[in-house]
Every structure is written in C-alpha cells, then in structure tokens.
Chain A
C-alpha cells in the first residue's frame, strides 16, 4: 500500500522543494476559491508548471477550492475547473456542494477530496460524500486516534489526516469570530485569527481574568506508525504560508519517519526523538499532539501568546557544486560568518557538518567578513559533495 505524505506549498518554489524533499503530493491554492489569504496563491500557469514537474516525478498535485462561497464568489467557476483539468491537476479539495456538482459534471477526471472545513467526524458523513462522488475525505482535526480506528474499520473511503501544523481551536468551518469581530470572512480566506487575541473572562467576580484560547500547533510524529498500521492513506502537513526551509525540514523528517517504519516495521523512541529534534530546527511555535490521544487538556493550549521564537538557523540554499574545485555556490538566507560551523542537508544528503573557512562573493570574488545580504551568491569550500537544492543551516 502507498502511504502518501502530502505537503502544502504557497508558491512554485515551495512546491518544488516539498516534492524534492520527500512529499508524494502537494496541495496549493489558486487565485480563486481557496482559503489562506496571504499564501501567495498560484496563477493557472504556475499550476500547469507544477503539474508537469510533479508528473515527471510520478507525484500528484491537489488544488484547494475550499472556501464556503457566497453568490458572488462563483464567477468564473466553470472556466477555472476546465483550466485545472487542462493543467493535469489530480484532485481538488472542496467544501461547497455546488462546486462538487459542477466539478463532477465538467471535469470528472479530477478527483474530489472533501475539505476539513466540513468537519467530518463520522462514517455516515463519509458515506454522504461518497454518494456525491468524493474519492477522499479529510477528517476533522478533532477526530481522535481511537475514532480514526473505528472509522477506518467501517469505510473503504481513502482518508487524509493532519499530522503537523497549525490548528484552529474550533471545528474548522464552524467559527465566524473573525467575521463578526473584524469583518474578515474566515470561511473565505480572511481569518484574522481572533481566537489568538487577548481576552478577559468575566464570571461575575471582581477579579479580572486574562484569558487566551489559542491552540498549540499539531505534531503527530509519534503516531505515524499507528496511522500506517491503521491504513490511513494520506498524512497531511499544514502550512501553505510557511517558509521553504520549514517545508524542507518538516517534509524530510516525516519522509524519514515513514520510510524508516515501512522498512523496519518498527521505530525506536530514540529514532523518533532524533526526527523530532530535526523538526524543532525549523519549528518556531509550541506543539502538541492535538486530539490524537483524546481531548486536549491544559497542555494543548497557548496561554501565553508571545511564545513564538523566530528561527534564524537557515543560512543558505545550494545553487550549484563544482566537484573538481569543491566550491559550493550558495544563495544567502540569513547572516553567518567565516568560521561558522554549518550543517548541510538535502533530499539525498544526510545532515553533515563542516566548519567553513572563507566566504567569497560570487560576483566580484571578494573575501567577506560576513554573509549579510539576503539572496547574495556566495562561494564556499565544502569538502563533500553537495547537490543543487540542498540547504545550509547554522549548527548550534
């Protein structure tokens, strides 16, 4: 059985990185019908290019069309569906019954996956969507592992579950806090994340109670073996707005976990810890296991909103490597200096550490006392083979 690792991508570069770093499929938003307002959504030509690239790797592309639409949002729907079909998109992720009906009628070759926005938590609802022609459902993040097991035992519908990333504190699609507090429509890509703001709670007493209800992000890496054993078909990472570095790191870590378990039939705690440490190199928010082990208690919440830690470890992206001179051409991402100990990693490169000596600017061949400028091309001697698309981070 094929277990799919499904990654988000906010733009073409990120999509390529996700696929190169181990995702079996990526999901992207088009300019219309998609949630995630600031996720630099794709033009049709970008989707076409992505589909061609994915197909060359025997991988898949899904397009999110999961807004809960108002009448005015349907303009151009038919043309858009036909364009997606022409691009070779494998599936659309949908909430709207009308979009489902139109897609079935116009582009029957595109699979319909039902979005988590519809809060699917039981087999009856899965059967309902099966009757509409759905080929996969994304379970609500509120479904526990025990419930997944029950559901899986009663349906043949392929299931997609979230394994990593941000979590709404409410059932997705059933929260309109943002609409009423800011006039930004949460179900049409405008969520203002009002659940993460500061509140006071009034219970009739004199004491003013400062209140927060934001959720910690999900990290279900411990549960990958269980999900594989259950036969869950697709493991989904959230975060179309995350950076390329984040995607590469998280996708690669989960790829390694899945492959390790499938190869060995088991995975040790120590190995899992190693993968978790890998993820933490890119993760800048606190994580929890979500609903996997039941209803989240105190540990599942962010009661201190200021807990995000900016990640500055990612320092460069490998553009080329000369095997004769052993000079790597690196595009700068964050500040680093000669003498820094760097860790190189990539789709086919295990984490490898090296203390660099000199940093040379590529354009004018000047030796630099620091790599200061984002996107500047730099030449660095690295004694082991690198490949284009490998990444470089500071080794702490």
Chain B
C-alpha cells in the first residue's frame, strides 16, 4: 500500500519523506481541512524536493465550490497547473470538470459519499483514484479494496460541514465576543465526548473527538492501492510518530487519543429499525 500524507509542516519531510509515497498539501483558497496551506512559491519548491526523492505531490482541494467563487478557484487551479504537481484531491465534482482535459491525477475524496464498492467502481470510470469513505465498517471497507482506491488510515475526521458561520452567529446572539484564534469544543448534554468545532471562511466543521485510526486493521486493507494519513490538528512531531507507527504497524508509537469511527459497527440503524 502506498502511503499518502497530508502534511502539516514542510520540515517533517526531512525525517519522513522516505516513508511517504505521496505528499499532500493544501493550496491557498482550495482547502479548508488540510494539515497546512501553501502558496505558489512554496508549492514549486516542494515539488522540486519531493520529485527529487522520486515521490509525488498532490494538492488538497477538498472544499465546496459555490458559483460565486468560480473565478477565484479557476485562478488558483491555473496556478497549480503552472507547477509540477502530480494530482489533486477534491470533494466537489467541480474540480473533475475543471481538470478533465489536463494530465493531473484526479483524486475524488468525498468522505461521506462512497460507502459501497458498487459506487466506487462506477466512480473510477471517470476519476483516476477514489477514496472509500471511512463511514463504513471494516468488513465493508475490505470489500471496497482495489487498485486506484484509497482507504482512510488516520486523521481527525470531519463529521459535519456547514456553509454557515455557526460560531460567529452564536456569539453574536449571546452578545459575546467571538475569538477565532481560540479552540472550541462541543459537548452534547448526555454524552461525554468533546467534539472540536472550527469555523473558517468556508463555513463550520465538527470533528470526531480523537483521531480515527485503522492501524489495527491494516492487514485487511492491503488490497487498497493507497492509504491516507491526515496531519490536521496534529503537531509535526505527532504526525511523524503516526507515520512511523503505520510503517512499523506499531500503535504504541502514537501518543494521541484514537477512535475507530464506524470500523467496528457491524450494523448502523436504518429506517424502520428500533
């Protein structure tokens, strides 16, 4: 399995690049959930460095594109096309159409939409590579493993994304000052989890408490061509530890709270179920 890492610091490459097959970075205005965002010159330098090591660079463009934003997005895409980037990861089909006639690898990574092998195989007829959503059990995930598909190995998973400014509006309603630099956590009244909630100019996202990790199941995921690790909300040293943990299949190297998401859920209640 080739390792894709959405990095959160350029410095970690000195330590980890040998273990990474694809380096992912967010590009300005294109991503909201990337480990880090770079601008044009940094992206050019990164491509040089990564290509010298025989590895690939993909851009994280995992955002929803509204028609009002199209001019800006097209400008950013043309900048990316002026670099030696190898691929682009997106959740909005806008990017597929914008890049259809380019040689960039088109990597479709909607984290909630691809929950069946049937959909995944149909999607691969258009997109070069497709992410299997992590919203499925390990049994289901195993069925989706194939060439040109990605499984989500590790990261702080977004479980909610809204266009609304849910923190700004709330603080305005309460007549309190909203400080965008603070870290915010949500706790449902009957539950114990503290869910990170983050507002950006693209809206508001809520994440699982702890980091989704499939490290104990990696042997069942080997038929995926790619595995994705996200550095979002990790420190650079924590990300290095996670990469090493996956390379050595050693969970003890990871020193952050882990969750398994839907991996162990054999059944998810559906309509009509009690």
Q: Please report A residues at the B interface, Cβ cutoff 8 Å.
A: 34-38, 41, 68-71, 73-74, 95-98, 100-101, 118-119, 121-125, 127-129, 142-144, 146-147, 150-151, 154, 169-171, 173-177, 179-185, 187-190, 194-195, 197-204, 209, 211, 213, 215, 291, 295-298, 300-301, 303
Contact = CB atoms under 8 A, between A and B. Distances in A.
Interface of B: 64-68, 70, 92-98, 110, 112-113, 115-119, 121-123, 135-136, 140, 143, 159-166, 169-170, 172-174, 179, 182-189, 191, 194, 197, 206, 208, 261-262, 265, 267-273
Closest 6 CB pairs of A and B: A37-B271, A189-B271, A124-B97, A98-B118, A124-B94, A97-B122
22 contacts: A98-B118, A98-B119, A121-B64, A121-B65, A122-B65, A124-B95, A169-B164, A173-B112, A176-B160, A177-B159, A179-B159, A180-B262, A183-B267, A189-B270, A190-B268, A190-B273, A195-B160, A197-B188, A199-B187, A202-B187, A203-B183, A203-B185
B189 A199 contact: yes
Given A97-B122, A213-B162, 9 more contacts: A36-B271, A118-B113, A122-B70, A125-B97, A151-B67, A190-B270, A190-B271, A194-B188, A301-B166
A177 B206 contact: yes
Contacts of B118: 69, 71, 74, 96, 98
Given A142-B163, A176-B112, A202 B70 contact: no
Nearest to B173: A298
A296 B162 CA distance: 11
B165 A37 contact: no
A182 B183 CA distance: 25
Given A124-B98, A199-B186, A185 B64 contact: no
A192 B165 CA distance: 22
Given A98-B116, A184-B269, A202-B184, A211 B170 contact: yes
Nearest to B265: A183
Contacts of A37: 270-272
A194 B195 CA distance: 13
Given A121-B65, A213-B166, A175 B159 contact: yes
B217 to A, nearest CB: 18
Contacts of A215: 164
B163 A183 contact: no
A179 B65 CA distance: 25
Given A170-B161, A173-B113, A187-B112, A71 B140 contact: yes
Given A127-B97, A151-B67, A190-B273, A297 B186 contact: no
Contacts of A300: 164, 169
B182 A70 contact: no
Contact of A301 (B169, B186, B206): B169
Contacts of A95: 113
* Residue with the greatest number of chain B CB neighbours at <10 A, chosen from A69, A119, A150: A119
Contacts of A150: 67-68
A297 B162 CA distance: 13
